[in-house]
Structures are given as structure tokens and as C-alpha cells.
Chain A
Amino acid sequence: MKLISEKGVKRLLMITAFSAISALLLIALFIINEGLPFIFKYGLKEFLFSSDWQPHLGKFGIYPMIVASLWVTLGAMLVGAPLGVAGALFLSEYVPKSVMNIIKPTIELLAAIPSVVYGFIGVMVLAPIIRDNFGGPGLSLLAGSIILGIMILPTVISISIDSILAVPRSYREGSLALGATTWQTIHMVTIKASKSGIIASIILGMGRAIGETMAVIMVAGNSVNIPHSPLDSVRTLTANIALEMSYATGLHRQALFATGVILFIVIIILNSIASVAIRKRMVKK
């Protein structure tokens, strides 16, 4: 009896795991199957580096969107990475453990807030502040960067804290006993020993920022153009897919799938770098 249920559970888990993996594979195959032929037909260079996105005229250059995605992501990193790493260091090194054990799960909970809520806050609060103080339409590259920077904070903080806490206590004690201050210990020992985990947290945050769609559509303005200032309205790769997919047909539709392929590749590269960094940390311990 016991043996049967044991086997049954194993089979059930196997089927679940298998279907999850095959679903992922099918999605990847579907996107590649829809997108890749277009890239061959249209020409990779023309697709990536032409600034002409006029689907009704058969022009599919995604260069402005690539530039916008890169700028928005870079901006998000400039906001989110320093704040996140500083927050993680503060929580793990300066705050009593009992307090940290309350704050960390709370911050992780922020990751569960739907992105449309972040977008809403961006539209209602952030965009007017930017418009009134710096000019421009408000819905802009800057607004997108700030909102995304905030959205990646839980990822950066949580993974950074984990890797900082994994630094052996004896390193800290050794450093302090040699007459180092808390801050000297942090920057000469703790950060060095947890560097790969901190980098991984930033890269994972970056992946999240590149892939984020709803919040960016709401706050970045969505004009297809190469931004000349942070106050310009921009449209990212993800926003472009989401905005046009509902009515796109034929070549236009395929071009959107091809955009997905490009995104897919970028995110896979980022995640592999992150997982290599994380694994390096595990091996070191």
C-alpha cells in the first residue's frame, strides 16, 4: 500500500514537472517559429538598426525601441541597484536581526504587487511631479526608469541580503578584532565576499526591468522615437509588442514575434550570467 502511493506520488510529480518544462519549451518554440522566418525575410540588420517603424508601410525597424529599452533599463539600474544594495547592507549589517526578519519578508511582498499598481502610482504621482518640476510630458523615460527602479528593489534587496548573510561570521569578527570599524569591515570584507551574489541580484533585477511591460506602457509615454533627453516619451520593446499585438496581422504580426525573439535572447543571456555568478558563490562556500 505504502509502496504504491510512493510510486504514485513520484509519477504525479514527474508528470507535473514534465508538463511545466514542455510548456516552457512550447512557448519558446512557438515564438521562435513565428519570429525567426521574419528576421530572415526582412534582414537582421535592417530589423535591428533601422529607425523606421511604420507597419502600415511595411517598415519594421525596431532600433528606437531597442534604444528605449536599453535606456529605461539602464535608468532603472541607476535607481534600483544603489538603493537596493545600500538597503541590503543596511538591513543585514546595521539593523538588529529581529527587525530585519520582519522587514525582509515585507520587502519581498512588494514583488507581489501587480505591476499595473506601480504603473498607476507612476501616472498619478510621479508623472505630474516630473512635468511640473522639469517640464516635458511627464510620461517619459525618466518616469519609466524610476518606476522600474522601484519595482526591482525587492529582487535586488532580497538576493543581496541572502548573499551578505552567507558571508561567514568569522570574517566579520576577524576584521573587527583587527580594529576595523563596521563600515571598514563592510567594504573591505563583507562586500568582497558577497560580490558575486550582489552582482547576480542586480542582473536578475535587470532582467525583470527589461521584461516589464504594463508599468512601462503606463508611464513611459509610448512614442516611437529615439530619446534625446530623459524627459522624452519612449516606447520599449515590450510595450511595442503589447500595444500592437491586438490588431497586428501578417508581416506586422510576425515582426512583433521577432521582437519577442530578440527580447527572449537578451533575457536568457542576462539570466545565464546571473546563474553563473550565483553558482560561483555556492562553490566558494
Chain B
Amino acid sequence: MNIKFHIQDLNFYFNNNKVLKLINFEIPANIILGIIGPSGSGKTTFLRALNRMNDLESGSRIEGQILFDGEDIYSSDYDVVALRKRVGMVFAMPVPLPMSIYDNIVYGPRLSGVNDKKRLDVLVEKSLTAAYLWDEVKDRLKTSAMRLSGGQQQRLCLARVLAMEPEVILLDEPCSGLDPISTAKIEDALTELKKEYTIILVTNNTKQAARVSDYTAFFLMGDLIEVGNTGQIFTSPNKTETNDYITGRFG
């Protein structure tokens, strides 16, 4: 199986606070990896380490290696901007940029030098359709993205990532503020998308991980307790902590 990310002896610090402790595992391509764990476990930090968004935090420091397609993304000559084009991210709080729906979607492609109007139009329709949003907004692409509902904004954020045609999509609790219908739409979209993309989904909802992910990783207090097939993790976990968490005994 093709491996997208090798995580090797990863330690992560905010100032002197060790937030990720000696993480080792591999993320295969074209799967959905669900990451679960109580809040404060380092799930967001781990996700943001994969596209180097943590670089923006002052006092953040990394040890160990993260290899993306075999290349160390933290080596000093690695192109971070190119990395973020290949590894797209949807944040927990859906925040479109303060511009029209259309401009939000073409923001990424334009940065990559795509300026052909026809090509952009195609991208817009394609990515909005894939994010299950096209039908709701196709008649008002030029209106401000800020006027969409929360669920629509989150799908817009997914669509603008898809428009960049990345290889990996990182999602940080994308459904935490959404109603069940919007959540179902996002989950449907993700299941459809894993054919073309590698998807890493942090979720505070263990049922969601059980529903959509192929692999599940359980983080607790900065430790990766267990990672494996979703079926195995949810039916016969190897660690008691995992069992306690998925049966709702803590967290």
C-alpha cells in the first residue's frame, strides 16, 4: 500500500509544554483516517503539524520527522507554500474569506496561476458539487460568502480546498458546530472523495469516526494510544484506554 505520511519519533512542544509525545505511525494514501480523543489531547496540533500551520504559533518546536511522499517536510529547504497546496485544510470554525462565494473557491487556483475564466468556472462547479453545495448556491455565486449559513460555510471551506486539487485533505472537527443534515452531507462528500484524496479527519464524535473512517487513531494527552482498522478499534481495541474512551467512560 502506498504510504502518504511517515511520522517518525515526533515530539511537539509549545514553549516547554510537550503536546505530542513520541508519535510513530504511517498514513496510507486514499483512505480516511479518523483521529479521536478527548479535547486537549493534541489532535489539532498533530493535524496542523502535517501542513506546517503550527509554524505560525510562536514558541512551537518540533522533534523527529514527518515524511510526506518520502520527503522531510520540516527540512530547512522544504517549500512550505507548495506543501500547503498539496495538503489542504478545513478548520474547525468555518471561516470563508471576506469575498464572494466564487472568489473564495478560485482563491487557491488563482494563487497557483490559473487565470483562465472557463477553467475556473469548471473548477467552481466541480468543487461545489463535490462538497454537496452546488445546488444551494449556483444562482448566487457572486454574493458574499459571509451570508451563507454555518453549514454552508463549512462546505464552502471544503469546496475551496477541493478546488486546489490537493493530495491530502485535513479536517479539524468540521462538523462540530453543524446540524445533523449538514453533517450527513459532509460525511457523504468525504466518503466519495477518498477515492481521489487521502483524508485525515479529526472528530470529537466517535460515532462519526466509526461511520466514515477506514483507520482510526486514538490520541490521549499527547500520546498515540492506538491506531488501526476502524472495525478493529471499535470492536476489539487492544488498550483499555481506547475501550474506555469509545464506550464513553471518560473524555
Contacts and interface: CB of A to CB of B under 8 A. Distances in A.
Contacts of B89: 177
Contacts of A178: 84-85, 88, 107-108, 111, 160-161, 164
Interface string B107-120: 11001100000000
Contacts of A170: 91, 93, 95
A44 B64 CA distance: 78
A184 B111 contact: yes
A173 B97 CA distance: 10
Given A171-B97, A180-B111, A96 B58 contact: yes
B98 interface: yes
A170 B95 CA distance: 6
A97 B58 contact: yes
A179 B164 contact: yes
Contacts of B82: 179
A189 B97 contact: yes
B98 A176 contact: no
A168 interface: yes
Contacts of A280: none
Most chain B CB within 10 A, of A170, A175, A177, A193, is at A177
A58 to B, nearest CB: 58
B95 A179 contact: no
Size category, B interface:
20 to 34
Nearest to A96: B58
Contacts of B108: 178-179
Contacts of B91: 170, 173-174, 177
Interface of B: 51, 53, 56, 58, 81-82, 84-85, 88-89, 91, 93, 95-99, 107-108, 111-112, 157, 160-161, 164
10 closest cross-chain pairs (CB), A and B: A179-B85, A170-B95, A178-B108, A177-B89, A179-B84, A180-B111, A193-B98, A181-B81, A174-B95, A179-B81
18 contacts: A97-B58, A168-B95, A170-B91, A170-B93, A171-B97, A173-B53, A173-B91, A174-B91, A176-B53, A176-B56, A177-B91, A178-B84, A178-B107, A178-B161, A179-B85, A179-B112, A192-B98, A193-B98
Interface of A: 96-97, 168, 170-171, 173-181, 184, 188-189, 192-193
